[in-house]
């Protein structure tokens, strides 16, 4: 393998890894604040993709321009799901929580299949279509745009958590819910905010992916499993860990798939997942 091909493969791995990180950040935030594993998180990504697609198909609005609308829609949708469903099982046993979010996953997929059929759809022409030349080799402009967008959103979420009062309240709730409640922090509002931000992150990732990835009801399944690997590798509740782990998983998946064959990409990621569980179950940035 030539150096040029290796660098191009490496760049592709980094870019898709940034998308994995953005999806995982929403997942790890929900877990960090509420200790709930959200199996329906991939369906928020799917709804983000469909939101971008239908705005493009019906009104000729480019997915990049509709990102604010997609973000607001998924944030509101995430808050609604929390208030209508999740708030009822916050104090329930973990098994009940797992079955509830798994049931939501099946419900959302069923809704998508009922209304939009299991057909594959694509955004044919976007303002970011084509390719760009970087350091002498070609990379798809949609992938570059998605990677840059993922970095910006990740940085925005990190700054929100570390520089704002609402972010500090989220961090306090994640650290100790009872102590946060005694300090006057409304845990229910924080839980709803965490679900809203988590859904918005997945929705933004879906909107960015819609410019180059096929859109269909089960698309979330392609990303949620890897997102769980990223969250586990980075450390549950760690935003920085999710970013580092997302890039690492993306590089390992793409480079490993190139060297061993694309049919082994998922197997390589799962082997990494098992290795982390065995030797460092708390993840890279998790506390021992």
Domain boundaries, the chain: 3-279
How far is the C-alpha of 191 from the C-alpha of 109, rounded, in Å?
Answer: 24
Q: What is residue 89's DSSP assignment?
A: S
Check whether 191 has a pLDDT greater than 90. yes
Residue 131 β-bridge partners: 140
pLDDT of 287 over the 60 cut? no
- Give the confidence band of 180 by pLDDT, cuts at 50, 70, 90: confident
Task: Compute the mean pLDDT over every residue in the chain, rounded to the nearest whole number.
Answer: 89
Residues 6 or more apart whose CB falls under 8 angstroms from that of 267 comprise: none
The model's confidence at residue 87, banded by pLDDT at 50, 70 and 90, is very high
Confirm if 267 and 228 have CB atoms less than 8 A apart.
no
Q: What is the mean pLDDT of residues 33-57?
A: 93
Judging by beta carbons within 10 Å of its beta carbon (0-12, 13-18, 19+), is residue 280 exposed, middle or buried?
middle
Share of the chain above pLDDT 70, in %: 96
Dihedral angle sign, alpha carbons of residues 135, 249, 257, 204: negative
Checking if the pLDDT of 10 tops 70, the result is yes
Alpha helices in 85-175 (DSSP H): 94-116, 141-163, 165-175
Greatest alpha-carbon span in the chain: 60
Place of tokens 């390719």: 131
Grouping H, G, I as helix, E, B as strand and the rest as coil, residue 214 is: coil
pLDDT interval class at 113 (50, 70, 90):
very high
Bridge partners, residue 88, by sequence: none
Residue-wise burial string across 162-198, b where 16 or more C-beta atoms lie within 10 A, e elsewhere: eeeeebebbbbbbeebeebeeeebebeebbbbbbbbb
pLDDT by residue (tens digit) across 224-238? 889 988 988 888 778
> What are the phi and psi torsion angles at 138 (to 5°)?
-90, 135
- Report d(CA 144, CA 14) in Å as an integer: 10
Of residues 58, 66, 56, 22, the one with CA closest to residue 42: 22
Cα(248)–Cα(251) distance, rounded to whole angstroms?
5
Q: 202, 152, 193: which is closest to 169 by C-alpha?
A: 193
Which tokens sit at 276?
């982390």
What's the pLDDT band for 206 if we cut at 50, 70, 90?
A: very high
Q: At 133, is the secondary structure helix, strand, or coil? A: strand
Q: Where are the alpha helices (DSSP H) in the chain?
A: 3-34, 41-59, 67-84, 94-116, 141-163, 165-175, 177-182, 187-209, 221-234, 239-260, 265-279
Q: What is the pLDDT of residue 286?
A: 61
Residue 204, both tokens: 């933004």
Domain 3-279 indexed as CATH 1.10.3470: yes
């Amino acid at each position: 393998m030539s150096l040029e091909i290796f660098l191009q493969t490496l760049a592709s791995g980094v870019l898709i890894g940034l998308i994995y990180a953005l999806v995982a950040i929403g997942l790890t935030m929900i877990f960090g604040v509420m200790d709930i594993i959200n199996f329906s998180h991939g369906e928020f990504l799917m709804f983000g993709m469909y939101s971008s697609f239908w705005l493009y198909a019906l009104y000729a609005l480019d997915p990049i321009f509709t990102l604010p609308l997609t973000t607001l829609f998924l944030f509101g949708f995430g808050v609604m799901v929390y208030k209508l469903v999740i708030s009822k099982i916050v104090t329930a046993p973990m098994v009940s929580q797992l079955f509830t979010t798994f049931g939501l996953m099946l419900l959302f997929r069923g809704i998508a299949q009922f209304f939009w059929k299991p057909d594959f759809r694509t955004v044919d022409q976007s303002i970011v279509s084509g390719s760009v030349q970087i350091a002498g080799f070609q990379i798809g402009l949609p992938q570059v745009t998605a990677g840059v967008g993922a970095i910006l959103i990740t940085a925005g979420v990190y700054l929100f958590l570390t520089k704002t009062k609402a972010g500090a309240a989220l961090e306090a709730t994640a650290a100790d819910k009872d102590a946060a409640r005694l300090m006057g922090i409304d845990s229910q509002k924080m839980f709803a905010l965490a679900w809203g931000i988590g859904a918005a992150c997945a929705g933004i990732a879906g909107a960015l992916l819609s410019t180059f990835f096929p859109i269909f009801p089960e698309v979330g399944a392609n990303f949620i499993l890897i997102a769980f690997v990223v969250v586990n590798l980075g450390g549950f509740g760690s935003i920085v860990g999710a970013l580092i782990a997302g890039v690492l998983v993306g590089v390992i998946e793409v480079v490993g798939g190139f060297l061993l064959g694309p049919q082994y990409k998922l197997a390589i990621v799962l082997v990494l997942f098992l290795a982390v569980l065995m030797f460092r179950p708390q993840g890279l940035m998790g506390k021992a």
